[in-house]
Amino acid sequence: MRIIGIDPGTYRTGYGIIDSIRGENFLVECGCLESRAEHTSARYFSIYEQLVSVIKQFQPQCCSIESTFYYKNQKVVMRLGEVRGVLILSAVQAGCDVYEYSPLEVKQSVVGYGRADKDQVRKMVKALLSLRSLQKESDVSDALALALCHAHNKNSIRYQLTKGAKV
């Protein structure tokens, strides 16, 4: 199964694509979708187009995305929610099933400890995918961790194109 993990961000969204075959996971591609457009709508549209292009090129069957979590700044929460909506729509339109995982679930699945820090997540992603190196940006390692999390547990909220309802 080919899985794309997505770590949402308003200016920089990490993505990581893995193939999960009989319990073994292999890196396919990873990177960041970036937009510095001045207007929010232009930024969202740029992220949408970039993700559609990545999905078209690599053809994942499912998408694992980080769920919304608490921030003190409500404006940040709203912006991330908007970006998540764009990302979920992009994946569903491309025919991917979309699954959500909380940061705690991802860390628990990948590191074995729900309060792991970013460096611990990065090191475990690197080890689990047998990589010699991995970009320092946490956006990429977090996205790969999301993909690995889904490869490990496939029981989360799922969105499907059929009537856009949760299944």
pTM: 0.89
**Beta-strand pair 97-101/12-21:** unpaired
> Is 139 designated active site?
yes
Instruction: Note the pLDDT tens digit of each residue in 24-79.
Output: 999 999 999 999 888 999 999 999 999 999 999 999 999 999 987 666 778 888 88
> Is 7 designated active site?
yes
pLDDT of residue 33: 96
Instruction: Note the pLDDT tens digit of each residue in 95-131.
Output: 999 999 999 999 999 999 988 999 999 999 999 999 9
Active-site residue, selected from the candidate residues 97, 100, 105, 139: 139
- C-alpha dihedral over 89, 93, 95, 101, to 10 degrees? 0
Domains identified in the chain, total number: 1
- Taking only Cα atoms into account, the Rg of the chain, rounded to an integer number of angstroms, comes to 15
For the cut 80, the answer to whether the pLDDT of residue 136 exceeds it is no
Active-site residue, selected from the candidate residues 66, 100, 105, 142: 66
pLDDT of residue 158: 53
Answer whether 38's CB lies under 8 Å from 107's CB: no
CATH of the domain at 127: 3.30.420.10
Active-site residue, selected from the candidate residues 7, 97, 100, 142: 7
Q: Which domain holds residue 15?
A: 2-164
